[in-house]
C-alpha cells in the first residue's frame, strides 16, 4: 500500500482497520486501498492517522554493511568463514562522512521544497555503528526532524542505547529476529 505510507492495514469482520501515528480508524470493507479516493485520504489526515506528506523528505542511511548475525536470506551474506566472500564491500559511515550526509540531505530538502525530514537507519546492523548513529541524528536534527525509524536485529540494543537513541530523535524500531 505505497499510496498510504506509514499506515498498517488490518482486515476485520466488519471492515478494515487502518492504523498509524498511534491512531486507528475503521473503514468500509469495499474501499479500494490500492487507489484510495481523495475523501478517504482526507478522512485519514483529519483523524490524525495519515500526516500530510507534502512537506516531508525521506532519507535512508545505511550506517554499515556489516552485521553481527548470519541470516540466510540477507544480501550481505556475512559469515564467520573468511573464505566466503561478502556480496558487497564492507563499508561504514564514519564521523567524517556524517557532515556530508547532513549537507546532502539539507540541499535535497531545499531543492525539493521540503521542510521536514524522516530518516530510516539501516545496514547491515546499524547498532554496530552506534556512535555514528548518535552523531548522525544530532547532525540531521536542524533540517527539521519529523521522525526516525531503525531496522535492527536489536542484539546490541541496551536500555542505555535505547534511551540515547530516543533522546536523539529515534521514534520507532523494526526488529528482525531471523539470525542464529
Closest CA to 139 of 159, 119, 160: 119
Per domain, the residue ranges of the chain are 8-51, 54-175
Using an 8 Å Cβ cutoff, are 6 and 50 in contact?
A: yes
Beta strands 8-12 and 15-20, pairing class:
antiparallel
Q: Which CATH class is domain 54-175?
A: alpha beta
Q: In the 8-state DSSP scheme, what is residue 170?
A: -
pTM of the model: 0.68
At 50-85, the pLDDT tens digits run 665 678 888 999 999 888 887 766 666 555 556 666
1 has pLDDT over 50: no
CA dihedral 85, 87, 88, 94 (to 10 degrees): -70
Amino acid at each position: 500500500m505505497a499510496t498510504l505510507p506509514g499506515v498498517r492495514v488490518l482486515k476485520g469482520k466488519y471492515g478494515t482497520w487502518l492504523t498509524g501515528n498511534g491512531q486507528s480508524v475503521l473503514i468500509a470493507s469495499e474501499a479500494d486501498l490500492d487507489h484510495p479516493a481523495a475523501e478517504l485520504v482526507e478522512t485519514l489526515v483529519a483523524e490524525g492517522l495519515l500526516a500530510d506528506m507534502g512537506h516531508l523528505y525521506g532519507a535512508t542511511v545505511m550506517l554499515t554493511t556489516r552485521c553481527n548475525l548470519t541470516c540466510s536470506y540477507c544480501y550481505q551474506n556475512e559469515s564467520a568463514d573468511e573464505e566466503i566472500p561478502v556480496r558487497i564491500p564492507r563499508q561504514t559511515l564514519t564521523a567524517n562522512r556524517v557532515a556530508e550526509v547532513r549537507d546532502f540531505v539539507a540541499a535535497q530538502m531545499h531543492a525539493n521544497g521540503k521542510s521536514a525530514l524522516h530518516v530510516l537507519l539501516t545496514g547491515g546492523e546499524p547498532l554496530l555503528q552506534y556512535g555514528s548513529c548518535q552523531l548522525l541524528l544530532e547532525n540531521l536534527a536542524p533540517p527539521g526532524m519529523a521522525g526516525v525509524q531503525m531496522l535492527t536485529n536489536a542484539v546490541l540494543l541496551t536500555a542505555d542505547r535505547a534511551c540515547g537513541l530516543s533522546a536523539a530523535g529515534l521514534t520507532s524500531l523494526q526488529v528482525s529476529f531471523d539470525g542464529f
